[in-house]
Amino acid sequence: MAEEIKTDDNKILEEIGDYKYGFHDRDDNYVFKSERGLSREVVENISRMKGEPQWMLDFRLKAYEHYINRPMPNWGPTLDEIDFDNIFYYVKPTEKSEKNWDNVPDDIKNTFNKLGIPEAEQKFLAGVGAQYESEMVYHSILEHLEKQGVVFLSIEDGLKQYPDLFKEYFGTVIPIEDNKFAALNSAVWSGGSFVYVPKGVTVDLPLQAYFRLNTANVGQFERTLIIVDEGASVHYVEGCTAPQYTTNSFHSGVIEIIVKKGARSRYSTIQNWSTNVFNLVTQRAKVFANASHEWVDANLGSKLTMKYPSCYLMESGAHGEMLSMAFAGPGQTQDAGSKMMHFAPNTTSKIVSKSISKGGGRASYRGMVKVYKGSKGVKSNVVCDALLLDPKSRSDTYPTIEIDEDDVTIGHEASVSKVGEEQLFYLMSRGLSEEEATTMVVSGFIEPLVKELPMEYAVEMNRLIQLQMEGSIG
Amino acid sequence: MSQLEIKNLHVSIEDKEILKGLSLTINQGEIHAIMGPNGTGKSTLAYTLMGHPNYTVTKGEIIFKGKNVLELEPDERSRAGIFLAFQYPVAIPGVTVANFLRTAINSRRRAENPEDKGMPIPEFRKMLKEKMDTLKMDHNFAGRYLNDGFSGGEKKRAEILQMATLKPEIAILDETDSGLDIDALRIVSEGVNALSGPDLGVLVITHYQRLLNYIKPNFVHIMLDGRIVESGGADLALHLEEQGYDWVREKYEEPA
Ligand SMILES: Nc1ncnc2c1ncn2[C@@H]1O[C@H](COP(=O)(O)OP(=O)(O)OP(=O)(O)O)[C@@H](O)[C@H]1O
Ligand SMILES: [Mg+2]
């Protein structure tokens, strides 16, 4: 029976109550005077601060040139509100910690409290914390990984310690020219992770970005590079469910993943930005023969999120998957989806996109499945389900399917539903309040995604949905 | 004490009057059966008792334990002790039976005492396991999504499992027997009988006398066109089984 009932939320919550995660601060004691706006000098400064090799400086400058010359994307949601001249493109970590706890908005603090996060850690998550240390846990995890030959470093340390490996792959999955914001990130990137999993190694615990310091406080222009060598397997988890408060209202990350022959990888994101943030992220995996990559992506918060994680299926037998959930609350736009590019025969892909709109929020699915000529035997299936919680809210789907090959099997289903009156009545007839009943329907709706998350994230995720739903009725 | 009193109830759906002056009193410990042709308003009565928002009471009263039920929301009615086993239970994808039941139990406990920490997991597990055993349900049922892809019979069993878990004071069973095979009918009926006693009032809606061999009613009512037209003992059901509804219609239907 114990195994049959898997919903022991309380017990799990008890366990995550005593937060065991360790954080470690970096020693950045160089001096850099940040200025608003972007220029060639700012880019040069960033590179110099980080003590980078010439090739990286060249890369950044080339990206800068591309960025300033490339027009703003004119499809999708408007970006007019972003004041690009008023952004700090590089903020030294010590400056981040000078932010004042008193300036963190109350609603963010309240959510921290409701999630049961200890105050020291709240400050850390809000980016105003001093050093928050639990060296023991941090070190034992790193040791465990090291024994397997796994590299798990900050992106900066990755470049320093593994220059050849780094250079071989960096920018190969998402080139500078990919899109305007990938170019911007390439010019000013800072922070993020570097992961290498050697051939045949199975990493038996999820690599959690927030085990590491400075990745919890995700930079505005974070950059992550993950290489999963042949036959290896890894699950990387990014983000955390606490709202990530930041005074920087613009976030544009780039995540590049290489999944070699026969390897398996999964990248899970739970993002809960404060509602002033514009979040424009480029995430892509290149997947080789018989390898597979899965994106599991939950987006809450932010003012606008534009995010279309993609899989480039390069060789026969490659498989790509996207399982995403977006929650658009009042004043929010979640424009999310996925791209599956089938470059080789017998490649397969699957997209499951779930969105919830509430209080006038707007959630869109924007996706692309492309099958190139000669890619025989491709199979792809797309399922988009949208749930509208009230008549003010909105959901749209923009699916694109381009197929240059006959011998393929493609499926696409889209559904928009409202929380059914009959469902609410049924649940309320068992004593659940209207709010509890609605929350239960919403939790059930995203269950296919939540059950893919590591246990502690799943529990926090459910709790977070409850918080989003609180006070939404009546 | 009279538990549930329905007085001269008139109910409309989208301005169409379905119940046209129905009166019925159910005391604690009593089992009542309602029979009647399709479309006479039996489910309408059940939904109205539970507070479905689409059913408008235009006239009449429903009193339960001295309280005016019409002022209560469905969840308040449930917490007051009214239970409806649905004729067509609704699927809630992604929510397991166990999770749902635990939420329901805890929500009820919290409504009573805001400080309540909820039923401890071991206790819940033990309780659920016992109830499922009584209804001869496989334990992995607890991990399935509520009514999602359940067979007709499984849905009905799940309704009685909910009833057993929530321990109501008045239970309305709307065609709980339809869709059950012969063995399941016996098991479910035994389940209901195990729950009945001096504190529980039961209203059974059914088309078949067969169910009443297991759940023995004290009173049988015949409903026609939104009203109760005949009431009697268990033998009335037997009579109906033999004679059908023609004699009732002849006696009560207003000539068109
Ligand atoms: N939501 C609704 N909208 C419109 N009409 C409805 C609705 N629900 C019920 N009705 C109508 O009300 C009448 C009574 O329906 P009800 O379901 O109460 O009958 P019943 O006695 O339970 O029938 P059955 O034995 O077939 O279950 C029917 O004519 C039905 O079509
Ligand atoms: Mg009916």
ipTM, interface predicted TM-score of the complex: 0.95
pTM value is: 0.81
Chain A neighbors of B50, CB-CB under 8 A? 425, 429
pLDDT along chain A (474 residues), means of 10: 37 31 32 70 91 96 96 86 80 48 63 59 47 42 83 90 97 95 94 93 78 46 95 86 62 95 95 84 97 94 92 98 94 94 97 93 94 96 93 91 94 87 95 93 91 78 80 51
Interface mutation target, options B107, B132, B144, B174, chain A, most CBs of A under 10 Å: B107
In this prediction, what percent of chain B has a pLDDT beyond 90? 73
Ligand minimally distant from the alpha carbon of residue B38: 1
Q: Which residues surround ligand 2, an ion (CB under 5 A)?
A: B 42-43, 87
**Which of B75, B100, B129 has its CB closest to that of A1?**
B129
pLDDT tens for residues A227-256? 999 999 999 988 655 555 565 578 899 999
In this prediction, what percent of chain B has a pLDDT beyond 70? 98
Report CA(B82)–ligand 1 centroid distance (Å): 21
Instruction: Select from A361, A354, A339 the least CA-distant residue to A415.
Output: A354
Q: Which residues contact B223 (CB under 8 A, 6 or more apart)?
A: B22, B34, B35, B36, B40, B41, B42, B45, B229
Q: Are A267 and A294 in contact (CB under 8 A)?
A: yes
Report CA(B187)–ligand 1 centroid distance (Å): 28
Distance (Å, whole) CA A355 – CA A338? 13
Q: Is the CB of B226 under 6 A from ligand 1?
A: no
Q: Which residues contact B213 (CB under 8 A, 6 or more apart)?
A: none
Q: Which atom from ligand 1 is nearest to the alpha carbon of B44?
A: 18
pLDDT tens for residues A80-126? 888 888 777 776 544 443 345 666 666 666 666 665 555 555 555 54
Distance (Å, whole) CA A325 – CA A447? 10
Taking the mean position of all CA atoms in its chain, how far away is CA B208? 16
Please tell me if residue A445 touches chain B, with a CB cutoff of 8 Å: yes
Chain A neighbors of B52, CB-CB under 8 A? 425
Q: Which residues contact B182 (CB under 8 A, 6 or more apart)?
A: none
Q: Are A209 and A236 in contact (CB under 8 A)?
A: yes
Q: Is the CB of B113 under 6 A from ligand 1?
A: no
For ligand 1, atom 19, the nearest C-alpha belongs to B39
Q: Which atom from ligand 1 is nearest to the alpha carbon of B45?
A: 18
- Residue B248 confidence (pLDDT): 87
Which chain A residue has its CA at the smallest distance from B94's CA? A444
Ligand minimally distant from the alpha carbon of residue B87: 2
- Residue A216 confidence (pLDDT): 37
Q: Are B158 and B150 in contact (CB under 8 A)?
A: yes
Q: Is the CB of B14 under 6 A from ligand 1?
A: yes
- Residue A6 confidence (pLDDT): 36
Report CA(B42)–ligand 2 centroid distance (Å): 5
pLDDT exceeds 90 at position B31? yes
- Residue A145 confidence (pLDDT): 83
Q: Is the CB of B41 under 6 A from ligand 1?
A: yes
Quote helix, strand, coil % in chain B, to nearest 5. Answer: 40, 25, 30
Long-range (24+ apart) CB contacts under 8 A made by A85-89 are A85/A36, A85/A37, A85/A38, A86/A36, A86/A37, A87/A36, A87/A37, A87/A38, A87/A220, A87/A248, A87/A250, A88/A34, A88/A35, A88/A36, A88/A220, A88/A248, A89/A37, A89/A38, A89/A42, A89/A46, A89/A188, A89/A220, A89/A221
Q: Are A296 and A268 in contact (CB under 8 A)?
A: yes
CB contact under 8 Å between A432 and B104, yes or no, is: yes
- Would you say how long chain A is, in residues? 474
Q: Is the CB of B44 under 6 A from ligand 1?
A: yes
Q: Are A304 and A333 in contact (CB under 8 A)?
A: yes
| DSSP 3-state of B33 | strand
pLDDT tens for residues A294-331? 999 999 888 999 999 999 999 999 999 999 999 999 99
Ligand minimally distant from the alpha carbon of residue B37: 1
Please tell me if residue A428 touches chain B, with a CB cutoff of 8 Å: yes
CB contact under 8 Å between B90 and A436, yes or no, is: no
- Residue A144 confidence (pLDDT): 79
Chain B neighbors of A432, CB-CB under 8 A? 75, 103-104, 107
Residue B59: in which H helix or E strand, if any? strand B56-64
Distance (Å, whole) CA B44 – CA B18? 7
Chain A neighbors of B93, CB-CB under 8 A? 444-445, 447
